[in-house]
Structure 1
């Protein structure tokens, strides 16, 4: 593109879209600040690293092609993975894992694997999100009470009654009160007039609770803050030797797969919100990979395209990708000029915000509707979410995928055998998919067919007849012919193979 054309495009954007994109970028910035900080703290990382990832998501991924309006940054959906990686391998390993996962995403995009993520069963996706939401709910309820969360799911469940018992302590009661106020503001803000909802409810909750803690001197823990220079830790070449550890490499693969899935599922949802150009999935996967590689080289958190920020961007009237780039610029200015404001934010406020995010991810209303319409699909959601909460994210997703494949195999193997007598004639109808999975049922049904002088075997309703079932039908017909029955197959068996 020539310099003249580039200047013309900027001039056109300034005249037509600048005001809308500028306003949308400020809204997304205000949404992003508390979420970036909350995800980082919940992941066991310094709060500033969440801001760093948000900056990279805006300034790096924001300028790359793929999707025009979705916004990238640290996501609640990766909190569980990051917390586990930090606890198991240490914070210095995080940059290596994130950078390696980003390179894997780039390679997947170049190999044009982005479209395959769209083929994953929606029930598995819903189960993955519900499982992440369940883990967030079980884990973040402890910081709301000012307590340290246990390590295992069983310990988290067993420790819940003890949280309520500690409310007689001033610090616990204050922390719980701040968290409850946060949830009340976030939920109640959704019922405010539209002109007020331009300001995100999460930001209102952060400002109100921080002010309450400062004014009344409440004994509540707040975010520990340092400068960006104190938390940015580029991994040197020697650290990449950690990838020789199968556990570290496995974490990178898991980050890459989950981050890619979340980003592309978000892209599909955002595309339905606007009438602009649709997402190019492989290109977007490369952009996300470049962003994660850059974040990893800064020692920061992994990123995905985030549906909350992306929806806020679209609803605020964004027209071009400039809005998401500008949101990254505002995050950078905030981190440079006003980092001390983070020290006023109560930890229980951030935990409550993640509790709210976890509840939305769990989405019991959608699960109930799915159970009424498709009980088996709802079972896959529950199974996936349960295994994620009990074991870990990767195992839960793999179990969910296996269940979805098994259900698909069962569905395509539905098979029916019916017969109808007409005097001395007998019409036997086969319908559905006759595969080896249904062979026992086919054999049992054919054995129950009564004897008749003339038998017409109707295979017109059979969509697929594999070799095992074809041989079973041929053997049954030959046996009946030896018994003096006139058996005619219509259409011939070979046609259904």
Structure 2
């Protein structure tokens, strides 16, 4: 098997792919950790576990797992409110939830979230990342929430210019990083398409800062990576009984699972190889997050940027993902001094660039193809996340999706027409008569003049719920008082009630 793997040239493809993914992942692992309010080593450990462990057992062979910008906001909020000591137990519990869900064959259900909500979630996260990392770009400390960060930007900029609370040099470093990445994306020659812009920016900016001896904050990476491991204590595990931490764990599990499985579906569309086993992928993510929780590292998800780089580099099997985790481990263990030269503002520039890319307003047009309501759900989810927090924004988006589904499934055409027989009118019901359509049906019944025989046509009625059925029954009961008569095939009407019950 190994000989065939090598002879077919698959190892060479995976080796090249692993190097490309490693070069993309390394700065992101450290940058996402800093954005999460954690030391860079916490992100490196998650990247290693995502490669070596999850890569070996994942249900999506070409998807890459590691720390995700999508969870940085959640981690930052958790660490701010409960301290670093709470992160490990919460991630551990989130991993257990994912494992149980995967082993229980629930992987496909995590894909039930509307694409508009997921797109809005990513856009909202992107805006929050930009808002916080613009402060880090100036060597300043970000605020707790998105709107606070935006409101504080003018004063942070003035402080950086005056040198009181930030750094003009750091701002230049961050802007140079973004400029290099933008320029590389536009001008990159096809022969160097596998060279990541983030790596080029880090190397160029770090070398310039070192050469000029510029005074900016640098990344703090321990000489011994194992020193960054923080095992959960008994007291921290007991603290999981707090409702707020339980909610945090379920939120981590839900967001990480939805992002992972939707990312896996996107990766499947990029290649013609083996398709994703969603339950196995969810279980593997659970194992990875359980280990990260034990080690006190960041939570992980399947990440689309690194996964896309893996596919585009020509990787053939899961070996590429495993090898990329090995490269991160070797680099962090043998060359920590090299990483300590990296300016924090440089990593912030990478995340600002990444956050802007996550806010893809072109999605509005593509979502609007499925109805204006879909595009509005995207915008509402994005704005709610920025104005409140990630969990509240996602729940608002999910609620709006359910409301839109309810409105669509309860479409009912109510027509009150004249019948050829004198003194008779025809009430035509076409669609689904649910409680949401009670007002429309009631208005039609109110228009029936006294001394009228009302025929109800139900052949095109798909189903009727209790609210509409009782409305018709009450009208028919009170009709004689107005000299009216209700004529309807009650057996046919009740059969549609039974059909609704069976469908439910």
Same fold (TM over 0.5): yes
Shift in Å, 1:140: 0.8
Among 20, 39, 51, the residue aligned to 1:46: 39
- Per the alignment, residue 21 of structure 1 pairs with 14
Among 367, 390, 400, the residue aligned to 2:397: 400
Shift in Å, 1:202: 0.8
Relative distance call for 1:426 and 1:93 in structure 2 (3 A) is closer
Q: What is the 5 A alignment of 1:50-449? A: 50-166=43-159, 168-169=161-162, 172-191=167-186, 192-227=188-223, 228-371=225-368, 374-421=371-418, 423=420, 424=422, 426-449=425-448
| Structure 2: distance between partners of 1:270 and 1:492 | 49
Question: Cα RMSD over matched residues?
Answer: 2.3
Name the count of aligned residue pairs: 489
| Structure 1: distance between partners of 2:82 and 2:475 | 62
- Per the alignment, residue 10 of structure 1 pairs with 2
Relative distance call for 1:465 and 1:209 in structure 2 (3 A) is same
Shift in Å, 1:207: 0.8
Shift in Å, 1:484: 6.5
Greater shift, 54-63 or 396-405, is seen at: 396-405
Relative distance call for 1:486 and 1:397 in structure 2 (3 A) is closer
Greater shift, 388-397 or 368-377, is seen at: 368-377
Q: Secondary structure at the match of 1:419?
A: strand
| Structure 1: distance between partners of 2:213 and 2:238 | 48
Contact 1:458 1:491 in 2 (8 A): no
Shift in Å, 1:216: 2.0
| Structure 2: distance between partners of 1:213 and 1:477 | 84
Shift in Å, 1:93: 2.7
Contact 1:370 1:378 in 2 (8 A): yes
Contact 1:71 1:309 in 2 (8 A): yes
Relative distance call for 1:427 and 1:25 in structure 2 (3 A) is same
TM-score (norm 2): 0.91
Relative distance call for 1:486 and 1:253 in structure 2 (3 A) is closer
Greater shift, 399-408 or 58-67, is seen at: 399-408
Shift in Å, 1:490: 9.8
Contact 1:167 1:173 in 2 (8 A): yes
- Deviation by residue 1:129-183 (Cα, 9 ceiling, x = unmatched): 1221121111111111221112233432221222333453466322121111111
- Deviation by residue 1:225-267 (Cα, 9 ceiling, x = unmatched): 2120321122244432222333333322222221111111111
Shift in Å, 1:485: 6.0
Shift in Å, 1:380: 2.2
Contact 1:180 1:352 in 2 (8 A): yes
Shift in Å, 1:454: 6.5
Contact 1:99 1:293 in 2 (8 A): yes
Q: Which runs of 5+ in 1 are unaligned?
A: 1-8
| Structure 1: distance between partners of 2:253 and 2:419 | 63
Q: Secondary structure at the match of 2:460?
A: strand
Shift in Å, 1:362: 2.0
Q: Secondary structure at the match of 1:320?
A: coil
| Structure 1: distance between partners of 2:491 and 2:350 | 63
Contact 1:40 1:46 in 2 (8 A): yes
Greater shift, 408-417 or 316-325, is seen at: 408-417
